[in-house]
Amino acid sequence: MSGIKANSCPSHISGLKRPLGVVGGMGSLATAKFLQALAQKSGADADQDHVPFIALSLPNISDRSHAISNGCKAPLHQILERAKWLERAGCGAIAIPCNTAHFWSSDIADALTIKLISMIDATREFIRRQNGSDLDNLRTIVLGTRATIQQKLYANSMVDWGDAAPEVELLQQLSEGVIEDVKSGNLSRAAFNMASVIARARQLKPDAVILGCSELSAICRDRDKVSGVIDPVDILVDACVSWFRNDDTSV
């Protein structure tokens, strides 16, 4: 059986832009939803116009929340192993569609020779442009893993909530249940409970509700992603498209 010859590509192949590298598997559905959004938001008119990517979705990465709580760096080493593989494969930038993994974003960025497109930084900048104020100055509700909340990756969502603080804490606990359901495949229950969490959060009239876990982004319905609901995964997708369209990523 004849194979593809190494020199069978057109001569202009060397002028192609380098692909995006995606460190996935945290979790698998969240990675799939990120890639779906990347295709939908790429602004492409034909196959050849889409953002090229290499996704490495190896889900056997240690639990990020538990590791952060225990001071363990195993997930960092595992994420770096995957990111460096993508770097060696010729990717021009790295995206990690997992909020909690960004606890180690500085370490990851420092270890790479290519750009890490930070979901946290992109989301903070999006909120600053949208509200004319830094995230830390807004009354926000961050929904996500306990590590994301405790480490204040986005903001201290308990600030200025006063008597409503117990309700905010309950919403965070409920969102953890949604995350567990998504990871275990109980998608119908997860979607139903996610809609309930968003509705309850809106009753507190926050400046923003941040979906601080990619599982929440994956299960949150489009009709619920309005009126102050911020989806960092969507923002990361936009940042990746912008990187590809505007940066010099050619090989």
Q: What amino acid is encoded at 52 in this protein?
A: P
CA–CA distances in Å: residue 214 to residues 29, 30, 137, 200: 9, 5, 24, 20
For the beta carbon of residue 198, count every other beta carbon within 10 angstroms.
Answer: 25
Same domain, 77 and 166: no
- pLDDT for position 248: 58
Q: What is the pLDDT of residues 97-123, one digit of tens each?
A: 999 999 999 999 999 999 999 999 999
- pLDDT for position 87: 97
CA–CA distances in Å: residue 210 to residues 38, 138, 161, 226: 20, 12, 16, 11
pLDDT band at 7 (very low <50, low <70, confident <90, very high): very low
pTM of the model: 0.89
3-state secondary structure 54-75: EEEECCCCCCHHHHHHHCCCHH
Domain that holds residue 39: 11-118+235-246
Per cent of the chain over pLDDT 90 is: 69
For the beta carbon of residue 176, count every other beta carbon within 10 angstroms.
Answer: 19
Same domain, 16 and 112: yes
Same domain, 153 and 226: yes
Whether 152 is covered by a domain: the verdict is: yes
Q: What is the pLDDT of residues 224-251, one digit of tens each?
A: 887 789 999 999 999 999 999 986 555 5
Whether 222 is covered by a domain: the verdict is: yes
For the four alpha carbons of 98, 101, 102 and 108, in that order, the dihedral sign comes to negative
- pLDDT for position 225: 81
Q: 31-40, 81-90, 147-156: which range is least confident on average?
A: 147-156
Over residues 82-88, mean pLDDT: 97
Query: Phi first, then psi: what are they for 115, rounded to 5°?
Result: -75, 135
- pLDDT for position 132: 78
Whether 5 is covered by a domain: the verdict is: no
Over residues 79-106, mean pLDDT: 97
The span from the CA of 80 to the CA of 125, in Å, is 25
Cβ-contact 217, 231 below 8 angstroms: yes
Q: What is the pLDDT of residues 163-179, one digit of tens each?
A: 888 998 999 999 999 99
Same domain, 57 and 139: no
Q: What is the mean pLDDT of the chain?
A: 88
Q: 7-16, 139-148, 185-194, 202-211: which range is least confident on average?
A: 7-16
Return the SS3 of 144.
Answer: strand
The CATH number of whichever domain residue 134 belongs to comes to 3.40.50.1860
Residue 8 scores a pLDDT above 80: no
Same domain, 68 and 149: no
Looking at residue 4, the DSSP 8-state letter turns out to be -
Per cent of the chain over pLDDT 70 is: 90
- pLDDT for position 137: 77
- pLDDT for position 131: 79
- pLDDT for position 20: 97
Residue 4 scores a pLDDT above 80: no
Cβ-contact 136, 155 below 8 angstroms: yes
Residue 142 has which token pair?
């961050």
Based on the structure, what is the number of domains in the chain? 2
Whether 4 is covered by a domain: the verdict is: no
Whether 150 is covered by a domain: the verdict is: yes
Q: What is the pLDDT of residues 15-62, one digit of tens each?
A: 578 999 999 999 999 999 999 999 999 988 999 999 999 999 999 999
The span from the CA of 172 to the CA of 165, in Å, is 11
**Which candidate, 27, 24, 81, places its Cα nearest to that of 190?**
27
Same domain, 106 and 129: no
